[in-house]
Chain A
């Protein structure tokens, strides 16, 4: 059984990686790569050559190309010992036009050109753009760099290998003096003043300061050692990983009195446990210097709302429970009273849910709910739980319909089978046959769908969240598509694929628990 599950999971993992590969081919090679700048404010403000250079830098950052500038080339020569620093400095400044290069610079540029040609790079040289003989136009400085397209296989391998990252004491660049690099275990977390019993592991030289700590929020023990990188966002949540985007809290800041490492006490929303290393942050920022004793200054803030996934899951999981709570008794009642009034009413409902576009009935229920005085737009600051009512209802409508339809179908199929006739001839009461035989057999396919329903709640719902403006995870994919945020698209796709693999395997395991006849150990009986 365990072997079977592991095999299935591994198989699913490979399939998911192939899915990611397909999606990467789709969005990175088939789509125009200029599209990613559509929502970038920095890009809009740049002009002329700066704009082009910025485009290439961004493409490098997001894995499209490998950039190799003229300066990189000179540094490489210096490291190889071919030139000394003085020569490097003297030839590093290029002319405004190729014709105005100094002779020795021109020689090195020629060598650079040859080197790039030999290694498959394409050299880009942008001449200076001038508004007057002395004055550069906005962003008009001359540029010289070379680029090479990275193959999709390279991207896929980097993505898969970088999926998990383990924090270690060699994270901080070796040239930065940070004192002794070590991990410290303490029973008295300094964030709580150093008197309260709270175990923590504190690192020096690591990316996160607190690698392990406890607090009063679920799941109480938190770790920062292992991080999952689903892909860096570009437009949706610039520079932040997709998994972080999904689980990061939203809403307004929660201010409370905080004692910073320097002893300074302030009203702040900072969460000191999330501190990460930011090089030179105390020198460049006075506020940081006042608050922190080391360069672990990058902190997250505590916010009052839930995360994207949190909202989606809260709504989704209640909707799942609600639909099983209503759908199952309804399906049973319909099967029991086949062709009677309740069956006909149920059938009308099922037809309504299947045939009518989901958008139409979601809006219908929104209008009805609005008339009844329920809030129709989601507000994170609202303390009222009523805002959840309408999204939950519109989310569960469809699954109630589906549950009723399939449970009725399976039960009626079972009712005609021979073992039911046999049980009846053996003298069992109708109630007994229904409860002990028909329902048990008919519920197996229904049970198979439970893990999928629960995990599906994490993903959220596109239309429901849009209609009620819920800040959930359901819209992440469509938002990412509309903003051409390729990192988020890939990350979300992988997340969906993994969830679907896991829920299928869990469904199979669950039915084998419910039904002892199902056996995966491979021995044919």
Chain B
């Protein structure tokens, strides 16, 4: 019967091939085969399997586009309408009626007649850049030094003392002193936020390294004579990737929030960052009819931090090899 025949035919292979004798090969039997596995391909496969991630990534793309491309192709003059009293503190409808229906005025105008929408995105660029640079420096230093800290017991004793002392110096004090000594610029703030900021990340990494360092498989690996650098890069680092990504996801938005907080207590940089805009618009919040000026930067700051956070968290989940099954 045809059906029975087709059961025993394999496409592209003749009967001779199928029924040829295979010798026992002692070399081949030592080989261990597994399905092809690429770490990063699996990360993205798991990441995009969740439909919500595509949506969030889209939102993140919009945020990044507005924060980096929009300011590059538009001119924004904060004091362009300073002399026009009728241009100040306008709601969206009034502003659009006055200046024409375009994207600049969809959030109304601020205290010096500037476009709130433009101000927010020019400020966002500063804030996001600050957060990215600070996170980059802190994470690099923190992960590298934290790994060493976790590995060496001698360094651990010394670093724990440093951590106990430096951790108790109030960070607002440190930042304000540095801002006073230097000047309230972008790079001063970067310096102030990184000079001790890496220590807290390093402490977190140290704890993680200590947990993994003494696991049985690492003890076995050490007994077999694996060099310590190989243990660090091949045995421990893959475990840490998801931890690092998750941490990074929490760090970047937290620096944006921290910048907003610093600006609110009056220790901001001189640039019109997102925090500074919120700080200066605070008085508008209590004035009836002007609330929009205050809430729009607050809401956009929240959208930025939430998209960054959720993207990072989901990427962190996806980068955990245990989810790749």
Contacts and interface: CB of A to CB of B under 8 A. Distances in A.
Interface of A: 12, 15-16, 18-19, 22-23, 26-27, 30-32, 35, 351-352, 354-360, 363-364, 367, 462-463, 466, 477-478, 481-482, 489, 492-493, 496-497, 500-501
Interface centre among B298, B308, B313 (most CB of A within 10 A): B298
A27 B180 CA distance: 10
29 contacts: A16-B168, A19-B165, A22-B166, A32-B180, A351-B309, A352-B306, A355-B305, A355-B306, A356-B306, A357-B261, A357-B298, A357-B302, A357-B305, A358-B257, A358-B261, A359-B264, A359-B298, A363-B285, A364-B298, A367-B285, A462-B172, A478-B265, A478-B267, A481-B173, A481-B267, A482-B266, A493-B168, A497-B168, A500-B168
Contact of B161 (A15, A477, A497, A501): A15
Contact of A359 (B165, B169, B278, B306): B278
Given A355-B305, A356-B305, A357-B257, A496 B170 contact: yes
Contact of A22 (B165, B261, B285): B165
Interface string B162-177: 0011101110111011
B309 A355 contact: yes
Contacts of A466: 264-265
A413 to B, nearest CB: 12
Given A351-B310, A354-B309, A497-B168, A359 B260 contact: yes
Nearest to A490: B173
Given A359-B257, A478-B266, 5 more contacts: A18-B165, A356-B302, A357-B302, A363-B298, A367-B285
A355 B253 contact: yes
Interface of B: 161, 164-166, 168-170, 172-174, 176-177, 180-181, 250, 253-254, 256-257, 260-261, 264-267, 278, 285, 294, 298-299, 301-302, 305-306, 308-310, 313
Nearest to A479: B265
Contacts of B165: 15, 18-19, 22
Contacts of A12: 164
Contacts of B310: 351, 355
Contacts of B308: 355
A35 B261 contact: no
Contacts of B301: 357, 360
A496 B250 CA distance: 26
Given A354-B309, A357-B305, A466-B264, A15 B168 contact: yes
Given A15-B164, A463-B264, A481 B172 contact: yes
Contact of A19 (B169, B176, B313): B169
Contacts of B177: 26-27, 30-31
Given A357-B302, A359-B260, A35 B168 contact: no
Interface centre among A355, A367, A462, A501 (most CB of B within 10 A): A355
Contacts of B256: 357
Nearest to B167: A500
Given A359-B264, A359-B298, A481 B176 contact: yes
A19 B172 CA distance: 14
Interface centre among A357, A478, A482 (most CB of B within 10 A): A357
Interface centre among A359, A367, A466 (most CB of B within 10 A): A359
Contacts of A497: 168
Nearest to B250: A354
A99 to B, nearest CB: 41
B298 A26 contact: no
Contacts of A355: 253, 302, 305-306, 308-310
Contacts of B169: 19, 22-23, 26, 493
Nearest to B266: A482
Contacts of B164: 12, 15
Nearest to B249: A355
A260 B187 CA distance: 62
A464 B177 CA distance: 23
Nearest to A21: B165
A358 B298 CA distance: 10
A351 B298 contact: no
Nearest to A352: B306
A18 B253 CA distance: 32
A334 B252 CA distance: 27
A313 B177 CA distance: 28
Contacts of A496: 168, 170
A31 B301 CA distance: 33
A356 B164 CA distance: 29
A15 B265 CA distance: 28
Nearest to B174: A26
Contacts of B170: 477, 492-493, 496
B173 A477 contact: yes
A22 B256 CA distance: 28
B89 to A, nearest CB: 18
A496 B172 CA distance: 13
The list of the 3 closest CB pairs from A to B, nearest first, reads A355-B309, A357-B257, A497-B168
A466 B168 CA distance: 23
Contacts of B161: 15
A429 to B, nearest CB: 29
A27 B305 CA distance: 34
A357 B306 contact: no
Contacts of B253: 354-355
Contact of A360 (B166, B250, B267, B302): B302
B173 A462 contact: no
Nearest to B263: A359
A504 B169 CA distance: 16
B257 A351 contact: no
A70 to B, nearest CB: 35
A131 to B, nearest CB: 37
A31 B285 CA distance: 35
A481 B265 CA distance: 11
A360 B174 contact: no
Contacts of A482: 266
